Structure 1
């Protein structure tokens, strides 16, 4: 899960594609994932809950924060993972619609990535 967040952060669509379970990819491409990841500045991941349902299935409930056009947004998801050829693979996600109002970030505010730096010197 965390490695997929890092892949979104650096827009590594190939990794995102390779860790997406083949049975659930549909028409998805690595190029599409790269373009999607580049549209936002992913800055922080909060894993709320993870659960291993068996040796081969698990879920992760998380919040991923990203910045787009000077606003902070929150992507909330319950992700489903399963093992495929001994590797954990993303299957699909459910989006509970947790309420989060996008927040305009001031240049002198502390950056939401938790670096301790001002936003203007960090993730702006």
Structure 2
């Protein structure tokens, strides 16, 4: 199956190695893509572990799991990517089965060779 992150390659050769902790995402964009795929596959543990430690108190594995299981993600579009910032649009179906867009500019931090999601600014 193609990877949910939209890279055009298979999940097995894209985000799955990150989800299985076989390797670390090499860039902020790769981490963002792998986190999107983790939402699609309801991998709450990965979402929690890739959230920066300073922000984990605001997020729990159960909250991530609830969000992932209650959202039908459709596709990811990268708008802009720099060293530690990624702007993206994530398309999903709402409860009325209408397409909506989550537009966010996310901030990431590299620590000890690993990328972490810190926070983001949402656009309407």
* Residue 78 (structure 2) aligned to one of 42, 47, 59: 47
Structure 1 distance, partners of 2:111, 2:62, is 22
Is 1:81 aligned to 2:108, yes or no? yes
Structure 2 distance, partners of 1:28, 1:96, is 21
- 1:59-80, Cα deviation, whole Å (9 max, x unpaired): 0000000113311110000000
What SS is found at the alignment partner of 2:68? helix
Q: Which runs of 5+ in 2 are unaligned?
A: 1-31
TM-score in terms of structure 2 length = 0.71
Structure 2 distance, partners of 1:75, 1:27, is 19
Structure 1 distance, partners of 2:98, 2:41, is 19
After TM superposition, the runs of 4+ consecutive aligned structure 1 residues lying more than 4 A away are none
What SS is found at the alignment partner of 1:95? strand
Q: Which has the higher helix share?
A: 2
Contact 1:62 1:78 in 2 (8 A): yes
Is 1:96 aligned to 2:118, yes or no? no
Structure 1 distance, partners of 2:101, 2:91, is 4
Q: Which residue is equivalent to 2:28?
A: none
What SS is found at the alignment partner of 1:20? coil
TM-score in terms of structure 1 length = 0.71
Largest Rg, 1 or 2: 1
Q: Which has the higher strand share?
A: 1
RMSD over aligned Cα atoms? 1.0
